[in-house]
Amino acid sequence: MKKLFFFVASLLIGRLEVKAQSHYPGQHNGKFALQDKLQPAVYSFDLSAIRLLDGRFKENMLREQSWILSLDTKRLLHSFRNNAGIYDANEGGYFDLKKYGGWESLDCDLRGHSTGHLLSGLALMYAQTGDERFKMKSDSIVSGLAEVQKVLNQEGYLSAYPQELINRNIGGKRVWAPWYTLHKIVSGLIDQYLYCNNQQALEVVQKMGDWAYKKLQPITPEQRAIMLRNEFGGINESFYNLYAITGKPTYKWLAEFFYHNEMLDPLKEGKDILEKKHANTYIPKLLGVTREFELEGQGKGDEMASFFWNTVINHHSFATGSNSDKEKFFKADELSQHLTGFTGETCNVYNMLKLTRHLFSHTADVKYADYYEKALFNHILGQQDPQTGMVAYFLPMMAGAHKVYSTPENSFWCCVGSGFENHAKYGEAIYYHSKDALFVNLFIASSLNWKEKGFKIKQETNFPESGKTIFTVESAENQLLTLNLRYPSWASAVNVTVNGKPMKIKQSAGSYIAITRIWKANDRVEINFPMNLTTVATNDNPDKIAILYGPIVLAGEMGTAQMETPAPYSNPSLYNDYYTYNYKVPTDLVKILRIDKVHPENDIKPLAGKSLSFKTSKEGITLRPLYDIHRERYVVYWDLK
């Protein structure tokens, strides 16, 4: 039953798709008042059913664990307590406590957003690992927030800033995204309830919802239209989730209130109006639309989300799966004109991956799994600095740029907050299932315990260093099950053996290889994708290309000439120093390659004894996975000569 709770819970909030409620009617362990009406093609697994095995993803997760556990609870809660006027000399008081900086500074409108993200990250990490340390830290933060809410005594209002910021938003005055920050807190508290079984978190977040309903009920349609132009994150999604948990129609009213007609209605007509729109303001709106569609089982929500997804992926995204320039969408297909030092905001990818998981569950279309792999490996995996565990706001596409990382105590950008979640939930999209079939979407070393079927399987791989993956059945009951292995669209061939016997493959790339049998313990399936070098051009310039090996974007190593020493970190005196950073790209940087773009293997050769390392024959430039290039310059997009 514990597994079932986590499964349905995580589905509900978009971490692991929600529709599993219909799959297990009446078995919600008291967590949900409503069932989704939409029947999915596939279901996600509870995050606690998956464990990461040794590999690059687990290394990132362990670094993330060290960071989030090092963050001091008192310092995280300080701005909240300050807003409530809580002072306790026995705790060191206001003057002795070192304050966090950056976007958590007391003079920043977004203060408190990181605490919300952290609540989600801790909950996800607890589900992913079962480590009680994450629950203990979570409980202390939730308890502290409950105290602040009680002392504020403002009908359930809870934040690190006064309600005047909300009033400014309602009045159409300049303010930096107060509902965005509240969304992170609401989402974090919901995660705490669902993943950590924290009843106090549910009580606190319901009071926040009750306050919001009273606050927004008197708003006129004209006021609403103005206030929704201010970024509000995915608070519509969170209120739909709270509605599903409680069944209270006031929360559904709130979710519908945050439907942004100006941005969403054109999608119903198939119009791409993304140009110049703030990308991370736009994407979460579709998560709310998708949740409504799942709950109601009808309407145009799925059609709108699918159109938006296809538009972003096909016309506004780089080879890495990331999008935007200076946080905004640009004119469709004009990629080559936006290869700057401020491309690829990490929060955008975080939200696109969330949307992708919803859409995949609706259809089981392999294109969503292909994209998820592309963005996860080429952006999210490489967002984190292996030396420090700090993360990058942008993934620059400018030739000669480099990654600029956060600091442990003086950044707390939005991408730091979403990073708390990104590296805590790698297991969420590896496996899916239908009634009698298991789907393997990602090749990441991991184990799965499908308790309902009494089926355990282990995946061993060092992909993408090798295209080979081994699946070993650790336990199975006497029943017929299908193992669906993703045959990626990038693959030119595949070899599969079952218990050492070659399997004839009838499927083609961009589908699933289905193996149906009564599985037994120690059954072994080996799958191997020979990976090839390919090039992908920008939509608007066929001679501006990126180089890939399989699904992995390769970048040219360009050294550290004229870079700050040590490798650059953010300036603690500035909020948005990732924008002010001068990359000082050397004028003699090589940006041109003489290669055959149709057959790049003729001009790019693997380096002997070095995994995933190549060298161009004519220029002598070393190419390595972009996710593994840190603290030095690189080139992703090249001009062909």
349-375 per-position pLDDT tens digit: 999 999 999 999 999 999 999 999 999
Whether the per-residue pLDDT at 155 is higher than 80: the answer is yes
pLDDT tens-digit series, residues 245-266: 999 999 999 999 999 999 999 9
CA atoms within 13 A on the CB side of 17: 32
Q: Among candidates 122, 140, 141, 118, which has minimal Cα distance to 131?
A: 122
Residue 405 falls inside a structural domain? no
Tell me which residue range forms the domain holding 207: 53-248
Where a domain ends, among 477, 496, 528? 528
The string of pLDDT tens digits covering residues 25-84 is: 223 356 889 999 999 999 999 999 999 999 999 999 999 999 999 999 999 999 999 999
Q: What is the length of the chain? A: 641
Residue 343 covered by a domain: no
Residue for token pair 């994150």: 233
User: What pLDDT was estimated at residue 577?
Assistant: 79
Higher per-residue confidence, 578 vs 198: 198
- Kindly state whether residue 63 falls inside one of the protein's structural domains: yes
Of 248, 271, 293, at which residue does a domain stop?
248
Pairing, β 437-440 against β 480-487 = parallel
Q: Angle CA(513)–CA(548)–CA(463) in degrees, nearest 5? A: 50
Estimate the share of the chain in helix, then strand, then coil, as percent rounded to the nearest 5: 40, 15, 40
Q: How confident is the model at residue 95 (pLDDT cuts 50, 70, 90)?
A: low
Is residue 539 within 8 Å of residue 315, measured between CB atoms? yes
The CATH number for 456's domain is: 2.60.40
The residue among 396 and 87 whose pLDDT is bigger is 396
| Assigned domain for 488 exists | yes
Pure H helices in 156-268 = 164-170, 178-196, 199-216, 221-227, 235-246, 249-257, 261-268
Residue 593 lies in a domain: no
For residues 226-231, average pLDDT? 97
Q: Is residue 221 part of a domain?
A: yes
How many domains does one find in the chain?
Answer: 2
**One-letter amino acid identity for 83?**
N
Residue 620: both structure tokens together: 């002598």
CA-wise closest residue to 452 among 13, 45, 22 = 45
Q: Structure pTM?
A: 0.94
Instruction: Assess whether the previous peptide bond of 606 is cis (omega < 30° from 0).
Output: no
Q: Which of 476, 510, 528 represents a domain boundary (last residue)?
A: 528
Is residue 322 situated within a structural domain?
no
Q: What pLDDT is attached to residue 565?
A: 65
Q: Which of 149, 168, 147 is nearest to 158 (CA)?
A: 149
Over the stretch 514-563, which tens digit does the pLDDT of each residue have? 999 999 999 999 999 999 999 999 999 999 999 999 999 999 999 999 98
CB of 444 closer than 8 Å to CB of 373: no
